[in-house]
């Protein structure tokens, strides 16, 4: 009998491979690896995807305060990345683990969750850049729930504009029993 330790994905994976995993550059017709911004458009026809994303846009953009629970994390992140202007100025709360790189300022972190969109072959690390008003003292893999106002910024390492959460409230958390989030395809 062979026993293998149960390993949880954490910032060591992100640090070792970065946001852009070169191994996934090889075109694998059976998988789709994504990072930071979930994208399920390849799993649907154009019309079905448009209906789904517009349904999520109505759901998540209708209020001024959005609390992202685990069940809707990937749906909401995909919608926020697809329509960042619709969320600018809104208050969002979500939980994840901290990750900081040398490219970030001392008050900036990424708050991530490892997510599974359809199956393990299309899993990835998803989340948002967060910015504290002052320097923050978190280590990679520290879990927290953050609340803040959504804005956008041009992020040079990705050469694109991404959403950023200007943090107004933070609460340190224990890692959840199930640290993964899953795409809800209702």
Q: What is the pLDDT of residues 57-91, one digit of tens each?
A: 999 998 889 999 999 999 999 999 999 999 999 99
Considering only residues 21 and 93, tell me which one the structure prediction assigns the higher pLDDT.
93
Contact call for residues 93 and 171 (beta carbons, < 8 A): no
User: Over pLDDT 70: what percentage of the chain?
Assistant: 78
Range name among 13-17, 136-140, 147-151, 176-180 with the lowest pLDDT average: 13-17
Please provide the average confidence, as pLDDT, over all residues in the chain: 82
Q: What is the pLDDT of residue 130?
A: 97
> Sorting pLDDT into bands at 50, 70 and 90, what band is 119?
confident
State the pLDDT at residue 125: 86
pLDDT at position 12 is 57
The answer to whether the Cα torsion of 37, 8, 109, 71 is positive or negative is: positive
Enumerate domains of the chain plus CATH numbers. 32-182 (2.40.50.140)
Q: Mean pLDDT across the stretch 101-127?
A: 85
Q: What's the CA gap between 145 and 85, in Å, rounded?
A: 23
Q: Which residue has the higher pLDDT, 121 or 41?
A: 41
CB 110 within 8 A of CB 128: yes
Structure confidence at residue 40 (pLDDT): 75
SS3 content of the chain, % helix, strand, coil (to 5): 30, 35, 40
Q: What is the pLDDT of residue 23?
A: 35
Give the residue among 77, 85, 134, 88 at the shortest CA–CA distance from 111.
77
Q: Which of 179, 86, 89 minimizes the C-alpha distance to 141? A: 179
Instruction: State residue 35's pLDDT score.
Output: 58
């Amino acid at each position: 009998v062979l026993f293998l330790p149960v390993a949880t994905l954490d910032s060591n994976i992100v640090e070792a491979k970065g946001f852009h995993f070169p191994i996934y550059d090889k075109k694998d017709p059976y998988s789709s690896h994504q990072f930071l911004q979930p994208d399920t458009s390849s799993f649907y026809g154009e019309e079905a995807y448009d209906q789904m994303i517009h349904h999520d846009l109505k759901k998540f953009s209708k209020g001024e305060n959005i609390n992202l629970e685990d069940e809707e994390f990937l749906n909401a992140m995909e919608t926020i990345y697809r329509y960042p202007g619709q969320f600018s100025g809104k208050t969002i709360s979500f939980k994840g683990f901290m990750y900081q790189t040398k490219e970030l300022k001392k008050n900036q972190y990424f708050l991530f969750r490892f997510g599974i969109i359809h199956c393990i072959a299309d899993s990835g690390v998803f989340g948002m850049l967060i910015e504290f008003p002052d320097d923050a003292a978190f280590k990679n893999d520290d879990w927290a729930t953050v609340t803040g106002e959504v804005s956008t910024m041009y992020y040079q390492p990705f050469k694109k504009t991404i959403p950023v959460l200007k943090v107004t409230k933070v609460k340190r958390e224990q890692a959840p029993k199930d640290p993964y989030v899953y795409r809800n395809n209702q």
